[in-house]
Amino acid sequence: MLLLNFILGSIFLILGIVFKMFPPKKINSMLGYRTGTSVRNQDTWDEANMYSAWLLIITGASSVLIGLICHFIFNVLTGYLITAGMSIIILLTGVFLTEAHLKKTFDNDGTRKSLQQESEKQ
C-alpha cells in the first residue's frame, strides 16, 4: 500500500513540477488544464495552467504525506481507501479552486478584471 500511495502522490507531484516548468504554450485538446473557462483565450489558458500546476504540486505532496500517515495508522485496505478518497477530494478541490481563481481574475469574456478596471479609470 505504501508503494501505491507513494507512486500516486509522486505522479501528481512530478506532473505539477513539469507543468510548472514547461506549461503548455498554446490552447490545445491534448495537454493542460482544459475547461470552458480556461480555453476562452490565451491569457485564461496561461493563468489556469500556471495555477493548476501549483495545485498539482500541493496535491502530490499531500497524497504522499497522507499515504505515509495512513500506512502507519491503519491496515492496508483502510489506508488505501482513505488515501484514494483523499486524493480524489484534493483533485476535485483543485478544479474548484482553479475555476474560482479564474472567475476572480477574469470577467465572463476572458478579460482580466485588473485591466478592465484600469481602462475604465482612464
- Give yes or no for a contact between 113 and 106, defined as CB atoms under 8 angstroms apart: yes
What is the pTM (predicted TM-score) of this model? 0.81
Q: Digits of tens for pLDDT over the chain (122 positions)?
A: 556 667 888 898 999 999 999 999 999 989 999 999 999 999 999 999 999 999 999 988 988 888 788 778 888 788 778 777 877 888 899 899 999 999 999 999 999 988 666 566 55
- Give yes or no for a contact between 8 and 87, defined as CB atoms under 8 angstroms apart: yes
